[in-house]
Amino acid sequence: MSRKIIHCDCDCFYAAVEMRDNPSLRGRPLAVGGRADERGVIATCNYEARAFGVRSAMSTAHALRLCPHLLLLPPDFIRYRTASRQILAIYREYTALVEPLSLDEAYLDVTAVDRCRGSATLLAQEIRSRIHDEVGITASAGIAPNKFVAKVASDWRKPNGQFVVPPQEVDRFVAELPVKKIFGVGKVTADHLLQLGVETCGDLRGWSLADLTREFGSFGAKLHRLCRGIDERPVAPDRERKSLSVETTYNRDLPDLQSCLDALPALVEQFSRRMARLHDGETVHKVFVKVRFSDFTRTTVECVNPRPGPETWIKLLTEGYRRRALPVRLLGVGVRFAAPAAPDLQLSLFAGLAPHGDGPP
């Protein structure tokens, strides 16, 4: 039997909570994020700001150049987590199979749910209506037979909309998707695929599993499945997260250690945003830095540290770089969590990080 998966995603969540609590903010370009003078980054913005080209993950300085009258607010994760808990409580009234991805999005498996005559479409409409009425913000939803397609579909009619991809339409729907819609295909991989003549998932289907594996390693097998709309991952409500990391592959190799140190603040900023989006506050046990050099060799340096500051990241990066002292094509930073997880840790967010550790922690 085909599964019925709903992916619910709140619309511009942080900004939506701010506008809910202060209606005078509505209609004005608004963003939540770090200060420009501290190398801050936009966490989210409302649709009025997006009309000027402002986007999440953009540097605050760039956002202010695009929209000089942008209203910038610092994040308030106490209020965001409160709203998130209310939304999760609504989800769990419909199914126990809820897999939170962050504070503002989750998968729901409603295959066996009889409510709303067993219609996933009607269930999504009712859930979204309750979020609006009880929490005071809007959410969009995608409904599909698997997680990959449902997540893509939830973005189709944002804001405050939903899109259904029935089983018989999955093949056609996925074939027309740009390959950048596949999770894990970032700008560098998308550019590489474009150079190979691949723009859509339909184009990618012309590549055999062997060819994709040869070109992209283990990631090639994932590309082979997802470009065909095949995703057998279950909704996992009890999934235990063991680590969290971010990494960037650079269009041009970083030539020396100083260049790597200069690139580090943006990477740590991106990691901090992802850490903040976790629903539960896992306890950090170790921190690590990964370096991949121009000759494709890689090294990982880690240490025990529950609250890493700028000096920790710098020390690990410096040690890792000196192991080969070659130009660097990829940098990554992350943490490994202790077990069992505890909810009392939150890394410092949106703070600046100076290359030599003389900025705020």
Hey, is 218 helix, strand or coil?
Answer: coil
Confirm whether residue 11 is marked as ligand binding.
no
> Beta-carbon neighbour count of residue 195 at 10 Å?
8
Tokens of 273: 């945003």
Catalytic residue among 105, 199, 232, 269: 105
Question: Annotated binding residue at 344?
Answer: no
Query: For residue 257, what is the enclosing H or E element?
Result: helix 257-277
Assess whether 105 carries a catalytic annotation. Answer: yes
Residues pairing with 244 in the sheet? 335
Q: Tell me the three state secondary structure of residue 175.
A: helix
Please name which of 234, 244, 306, 248 lies closest in space to residue 276, comparing C-alpha atoms.
244
What is the CB neighbour count within 10 angstroms for residue 125?
15
Q: How far apart are CA 340 and CA 242, in angstroms?
A: 10
Question: Tokens 């090294």 identify what position?
Answer: 299
Residue corresponding to tokens 């409904």: 143
Taking CA atoms, 27 is separated from 15, 48, 51, 132, in Å, by 12, 7, 12, 18
CA-CA distances (angstroms) from residue 189 to 65, 195, 196?
A: 29, 10, 11
DSSP characters for 57-121? TSBHHHHHHH-TT-EEE---HHHHHHHHHHHHHHHHTT-S-EEE-SSSEEEEE-TT--GGGG-HH
Catalytically annotated residues: 105
Binding residues: 9, 104
Binding residues for Mg(2+): 9, 104
